[in-house]
Amino acid sequence: MLLLRWGLFLIFFSVVLAERSIYSTHDPRHSHDLETDTTYSLNVSSCPGYTVTSVDESNTGLIAKLDIAGAACNAFGRDYTNLTVEVVYESQNRLHVHIYDTENSQFTIPETVISRPPKPSDSFTDSSDLVFNYDSSPFAFWITRRSDPAAVPLFDTRLSSLPPTPIPPVMEGDPSTALDGFPLVFEDQYLQLTSSLPLGTNIYGLGEAVSSSGFRRDVGTNGGIGTIQTMWNRDDPDPVDENMYGSHPIYLEHRYNETTQKSQSHGVILLSSAGSDILLLTPPSSPVSLVQYRLIGGTLDFYFFSGPTSQQVIEQYGVMIGLPTWQPMFGFGFHLCRWGFPNLTVTRDQVIRMREANIPLEGKSY
């Protein structure tokens, strides 16, 4: 099942690459795109990461300028040389971190499709429950709770917080789960960002999925193998551990602190429509689990929700993404639906037979 899913993704991935490369070399370890005269290394281990060159702080957050920290690696696309990191403390409980190409040529979801909350008129930089921390060289960031600065960060992209690389395939027989490196990778056709997570932590979400591990996702501990959640809508009703109808790249993490004996939840969404894989893995003997985002386009647009209860995380998410649309009254009634009714006559006959049999029916679709 995993192989099948990953196979499908690879097929898709190669189609995308093939579109850009008219001819490629026969060496399977890298491919050459004659159109752009770029050789892709197909391996992120030599990706240099980025360095902060300037930071502009304001009363709503900061804007940092980043330059690539070495020669482009062109792993699966062409590296952007200049990035911008925009951090906005949008409310007491919502922090927005957007990493984008300074030239703004990557796709982002238009406001007409998903409208974002307006810029804050108050300053939350000193009062937000969440704190944005960063290193300049290489650029890495981590998110902490203001109320609990000593605790393990909620999200942490520092190399020092992640296991050493390269790591051979974490899922047996699936070469795509090799972890060649954890630098920030920002290319036109490949983006990668990795955060460490507490070993075996509780992750919920990353839908739409029928998850074989239940609501709690498999992060690769306690006999689990980990998760590759593909975000790519494909109108498949009930595959297990695969992508389905919708993409909801948000997760809720629930943590229990043994010292304080308190539980707290927070949420993380990557607001992107790009085809992507979100991996939850625990490499062998690693002291941490990790979440890795791999995108084939777009930007790295994260929102963090501070909770601290699970219900509050979902409420905070609703405030940001928008609440469900109003439903028609009949939508709450008795509904009959089956895929494959060929025409209106057959559908109407069905309604007539339901009435004849005295079965209540308020809605019918096909």
Binding site for ligand NAG (CB under 6 A): 43, 45, 65, 67-68, 81-82, 148, 150-152, 166, 175, 178, 180, 257, 259-260, 342-343, 345-346
Q: What are the residues whose beta carbons fall under 8 Å from the beta carbon of 255, sequence distance 6 or more?
A: 198, 201, 202, 263, 264, 265
How, if at all, do strands 155-156 and 191-198 pair? unpaired
Q: How far is CA 279 from CA 5, 115, 123, 135, 162, in A?
A: 13, 27, 35, 24, 14
Burial string for 81-117 (b: 16+ CB within 10 Å, else e) reads eebbbbbbbbbbbbbbbbbbbeeeebebbeeeeeeee
Taking the least distance from each CB to ligand NAG, the nearer of 3 and 210 is: 3
Give the integer Cα–Cα distance in Å for 362 and 335. 6
Q: How far is CA 299 from CA 102, 103, 143, 184, 276, in A?
A: 11, 12, 19, 12, 11
Establish whether the linkage from the previous residue to 153 is cis, with ω within 30° of 0.
no
Helix, strand, coil content of the chain in percent (nearest 5): 15, 35, 50
Taking the least distance from each CB to ligand NAG, the nearer of 28 and 360 is: 28
Q: How far is CA 307 from CA 70, 185, 318, in A?
A: 38, 29, 12
Give the integer Cα–Cα distance in Å for 8 and 256. 37
Taking the least distance from each CB to ligand NAG, the nearer of 21 and 81 is: 81
Asked if residue 304 lies in contact with residue 154, where contact means CB atoms within 8 angstroms, the answer is yes
Q: What are the residues whose beta carbons fall under 8 Å from the beta carbon of 327, sequence distance 6 or more?
A: none
Taking the least distance from each CB to ligand NAG, the nearer of 75 and 291 is: 75
Q: What are the residues whose beta carbons fall under 8 Å from the beta carbon of 241, sequence distance 6 or more?
A: 1, 2, 5, 209, 210, 211, 212, 227
Asked if residue 298 lies in contact with residue 274, where contact means CB atoms within 8 angstroms, the answer is yes
Taking the least distance from each CB to ligand NAG, the nearer of 13 and 317 is: 13
Taking the least distance from each CB to ligand NAG, the nearer of 16 and 151 is: 151
Minimum CB separation of residue 100 from ligand NAG in Å reads 13
Taking the least distance from each CB to ligand NAG, the nearer of 175 and 333 is: 175
Taking the least distance from each CB to ligand NAG, the nearer of 94 and 145 is: 145
Minimum CB separation of residue 311 from ligand NAG in Å reads 22
Taking the least distance from each CB to ligand NAG, the nearer of 233 and 263 is: 263
**How many CB atoms neighbour CB 307 within 10 A?**
26
Taking the least distance from each CB to ligand NAG, the nearer of 127 and 147 is: 147
